[in-house]
Structure 1
């Protein structure tokens, strides 16, 4: 397990694995590339797809000029690559044009300025408290 790059290891914390996902949920390579594409706002592809162009590893930013099948990153082992050239999204060999992943709708948020935050009770800090007997 230690040979995996940090972004592929599952953490034991309450937030789950990378990106706050809960433990036990495994992304496919396609889902990983789609998630990276939403996060980076750049076309992303995974190792094994045949796409020519200039690519950057989404984990360590190692860059390659690819002419064939995308490899795993030689520096960190990542399998997702971001397409770094301008222009339309390239179509991997064997896929239909227009089969690009659909961006997930962003949740609507409300931003307000000048809002006073009242605390219902004062905060008390205690030192040297043992949590386990």
Structure 2
């Protein structure tokens, strides 16, 4: 279940960001939201990722955090005609270049998994 390793990476990154804020003298109370970029080719099951995160983050400042996900479509580059753009499935067998019908394609993008940012709530007594 690679969703657990992704969830663990997210949690570790967020807890590190919280510690950095504490070192700056700020008082984070809660991580309320996270904004992710997820490529459609990662094959991550987001519901499983969220569940795994909820389990491992239960006793942390990230408990109950909301996930906002922007899905990134895969892009291709045709090695025959140079076309660059969206993937266009033509049939059940494969993906073809929409310009020259070649199957000689390089996949560019769609495998991303990035934390864009997170929203932290702070103690008002700063």
TM-score bin (small chain): under 0.3
- Higher alpha-carbon Rg: 1
Return the TM-score normalized by structure 1.
Answer: 0.20
Point out the structure with the larger strand share. 2
Point out the structure with the larger helix share. 2
Structure with higher RCO (Cα < 8 A, 6+ apart): 2
